Amino acid sequence: MMSGDMATDHVNGNGTEEPMDTTAAVTHSEHFQALLEAGLPQKVAEKLDELYVADSATS
């Protein structure tokens, strides 16, 4: 658990962050770019696209 000072630093943007693993290959559907162009945040577009790809694979 983080101490109070560490938690405060993190909330204030002064904490240390672990680097994201960007080595994983990401496959997007043909609709991913349209989601971004519609103004959705990238994380939201990625999750929706992930659900779409998963649903397409099971159909």
Q: What is the pLDDT of residues 29-52, one digit of tens each?
A: 899 999 999 999 999 999 999 999
Tally of structural domains, the chain? 1
What pLDDT score was predicted for residue 27?
81
Q: How many CB atoms lie within 10 A of CB 54?
A: 10
Residue 47 lies in a domain: yes
Tell me the whole-structure pTM to 2 decimals. Answer: 0.53
What pLDDT score was predicted for residue 44?
96
The mean pLDDT value for 13-36 works out to 74
Is the per-residue pLDDT at 4 higher than 80?
no
As a whole number of angstroms, the distance between CA 53 and CA 49 comes to: 6
Characterize 29-50 residue by residue with b for buried, 16 or more Cβ atoms within 10 angstroms of its Cβ, and e for exposed: eeebeebbeeebeeeebbeebe
Owning domain of residue 48? 26-59
Residue 41 lies in a domain: yes
